[in-house]
Amino acid sequence: MTNENNFDVEGMHIEIFLSSEEIAKNAIIIPKLPHGSNIVTIKSGSEDLSDCDALITQNRNLFLGIKTADCAPICFSDGTKIGIAHIGWRGLCLGFIEKMIAEFETKKPSVYVAPFLHSFEIKRDFCHEQLNPKFGGYIEQQSDKLVFNFRDAIHSLVPQAVFDPRSTGTDSSLPSYRRDKKSGRLTTVISFST
């Protein structure tokens, strides 16, 4: 790793940009992020990105990006393909990580998880009803709150993942909607290692 925002991990080159940093956004392919589980395979860069939360490519000349505030930007590589996904609690419940892994030649691709909100309070509502069947073991009663350990739930699905240690909940240099109620975003970009 050269620094915490620009490094290589097992066949992937990762760059992380804060909202305040200038990046050549037209050089990065970024989907619209409707908080679903659709994946688009990028061949030319002109594909429709209006209804997807993940991108995959074999094109070694392309840069794929995801904007997040608290959701997990997860990068995948098997040496032939790279991919990046925007995973929130809804995507986690929809099996989005498993769906991404199925797109790769190996069932254990290299995985890097950029900064995200490691744990957060949930209510006994729709969110709890969706998380509890599959991830109930990661929901903990803390005083009068229910807290979902998002990081450990992700780790249970991709134990080989390398996690950025920073959490948007505690690192004030990173944007967090839950913490600050502001619209700043983190942009995570993946490309092939050279």
Q: What is the pLDDT of residues 168-190, one digit of tens each?
A: 999 999 999 998 888 889 999 99
Domain assignment present for 101: yes
Give the integer Cα–Cα distance in Å for 122 and 88.
Answer: 13
Give the integer Cα–Cα distance in Å for 73 and 187.
Answer: 9
Domain assignment present for 131: no
Count of domains in the chain? Answer: 1
Give the integer Cα–Cα distance in Å for 15 and 40.
Answer: 21
The pLDDT mean for the chain works out to 90
**Amino acid 1: pLDDT:** 30
26, 36, 55, 126, 178 from 48: Cα distances, Å: 15, 15, 11, 30, 30
Domain assignment present for 129: no
Domain assignment present for 127: no
Query: Which residue segment(s) compose the domain that 30 sits in?
Result: 6-116+157-192
Q: What is the CATH number of the domain that holds 172?
A: 3.60.140.10
Domain assignment present for 126: no
**pLDDT of 3 over the 60 cut:** no
Domain assignment present for 140: no
Residue 25 φ then ψ, to 5°: -60, -25
Name the percent of the chain lying above pLDDT 70: 94
| 47-71 pLDDT per residue, tens | 999 889 999 999 999 999 999 999 9
Domain assignment present for 145: no
- pTM equals 0.92
